[in-house]
Chain A
Amino acid sequence: SYELTQPPSVSVSPGQTANITCSGDKLGDKYACWYQQKPGQSPVLLLYQDTKRPSGIPERFSGSNSGSTATLTISGTQAMDEADYYCQAWDSSTVVFGGGTKLTVL
């Protein structure tokens, strides 16, 4: 079965840029999307079709997807961005989530 691999944790200083990666076989041939989940809350869609932001999502969230890696980039990271982040793609008629990355802002 298809797998998406994320680093378990990423740390970033406030105001800096955070990059969270998601790796999978030929992921660049698929669409990747990204979710943010804060403790005790439901996930929120940040990006879909690699780079598109739903309304209400700040411009500091951006994405790319090429080769085997999709990347979520958070520019000017804020304390409120501390959360778990999940990538997701579609493969063989199933939805696949990455294992999640805990972003720490310190």
Chain B
Amino acid sequence: EVQLLESGGGLVQPGGSLRVSCAVSGFTFTSYAMSWVRQAPGKGLEWISAISGSGGSTHYADSVKGRFTISRDNSKNTLSLQMNSLRAEDTAVYHCAKDRSIAPSRTSAFDVWGQGAMVTVSS
């Protein structure tokens, strides 16, 4: 069974840092790109970052560029998102999502989603 399980969410003060991770199982991790998609309470979906199957290509939304870093450890089947300089507007549920494609591209579509990790940025 294909599974994505996020961890590492929590409460952090503005300006602080947090790392969320996603442990995957049930498919060949290196064959698929992965993304992080967040959803603020009561709001819609917002894509924030993607990484190719090899990890050699990364992409970011303007809202997080320079503050967040996506990475993957293909030996441990784990996806991570390092979040620095956090702001109140970063408060959201952070989902990892499996892409149907090996690299982020015009054919990208997310066919498996984790349940999400809640990140709250507040003093």
Contact = CB atoms under 8 A, between A and B. Distances in A.
Q: Do A and B come from one complex?
A: yes
Interface string A3-30: 0000000000000000000000000001
Interface of B: 35, 37, 44-47, 50, 59-62, 95, 100, 104-111, 113-116
A96 B46 CA distance: 8
Interface in A29-43: 30-31, 33, 35, 37, 42-43
A96 B59 CA distance: 12
Contact of A94 (B37, B59, B109, B110): B59
23 contacts: A1-B62, A31-B106, A42-B113, A42-B114, A42-B115, A43-B37, A43-B45, A43-B113, A48-B107, A48-B109, A86-B45, A88-B47, A89-B106, A90-B106, A90-B108, A94-B60, A95-B35, A95-B37, A95-B50, A95-B59, A97-B44, A100-B44, A100-B45
B44 to A, nearest CB: 4
A76 interface: no
Interface residues of A, number: 26
Contacts of B108: 90, 95
Contact of B100 (A48, A95, A98): A48
B45 A93 contact: no
Contact of A99 (B44, B61, B105): B44
